[in-house]
A and B are shown apart, each in its own frame.
Chain A
Amino acid sequence: MRQIIACGLMVIGSVMLSGCLDEPTVELHEPGEYKGATDPLVQLSGTSEFNSRLQDRLLQIQTDR
């Protein structure tokens, strides 16, 4: 009987402890490759004309003036 209880306690104990393992390293994953339609904006973004337009707009509208 005692053995059974001991066994039971061990089982319960291990179940209880199973959530307590602290994994010190976190695995991070690279995103997969996007396979959807190509957004024309991607071509546009990063061009200097596109950027300078947005920069001007930012300074014009979002500053205290």
Chain B
Amino acid sequence: MARMKFLCDAERCIECNACVTACKNENEVPWGVNRRRVVTINDGEPGEKSISVACMHCTDAPCAAVCPVDCFYTTDDGVVLHDKDQCIGCGYCFYACPFGAPQYPQASAFGVRGKMDKCTFCAGGPEADGSPEEYEKYGANRLSEGKLPLCAEMCSTKALLGGDGDILADIYRERVLLRGGRPQTWGWDTAYS
């Protein structure tokens, strides 16, 4: 069975932020909420490396384990989703998440948190697939249309890959073989047990 994963190839990521704006474009994510972002280490110095990070859709997702209202569910192919009608915006999942993925739009003054928002692997939420209600709350549902997350599909250098983990591994293995280097499957050991 397919297991949906993200993989970011640090040798190819150039911090162009296409994944970030593709996500904004596809899901109309408001200003201030970033479901995906690019992290750079050793910025401006030899060894500079960039990685695009969003929800990794972990196996045994820690966010789901700490959620006090149990609003998370996982699809058969491993996409971790949540129900905003259940979410109370407590922020526990943010502290549990090893990737800092959960986001909270500012719902009102004084910093009161709104419902948690995160990458859905472009798979929407519990509402009818592709419905306006689903789009309003969660953004696009590309999976139901037979498409994969737009961030990966639009990556400038095909550094960010998203889809069936076995195929990602094949694509990646081929590159590593060509390069003769060692693998840089950032985050996989934490996300996928």
Contact = CB atoms under 8 A, between A and B. Distances in A.
Partners in one complex: yes
Given A28-B65, A59-B167, A62-B148, A51 B129 contact: no
A59 B152 CA distance: 12
Which one of B76, B85, B153, B162 has the highest number of Cβ atoms from chain A below 10 Å of its Cβ?
B76
- State the 5 A-B residue pairs at the shortest beta-carbon distance, nearest first: A46-B76, A36-B83, A32-B70, A31-B64, A58-B163
Chain B interface size band reads 35 or more
B75 A31 contact: no
A32 B67 contact: yes
Given A41-B124, A45-B77, A36 B71 contact: yes
Given A39-B126, A45-B79, A31 B67 contact: yes
A56 B116 CA distance: 32
**Overall SS of chain B's interface:** loop
A62 B168 CA distance: 9
Contact of A39 (B2, B70, B81, B148): B81
Interface in A26-49: 28-42, 44-46
Interface in B52-102: 60-61, 64-67, 70-73, 75-77, 79, 81, 83, 85-86
A57 B86 contact: no
A34 B85 CA distance: 12
B15 interface: no
Nearest to A47: B76
Contacts of B73: 34, 36, 39, 42
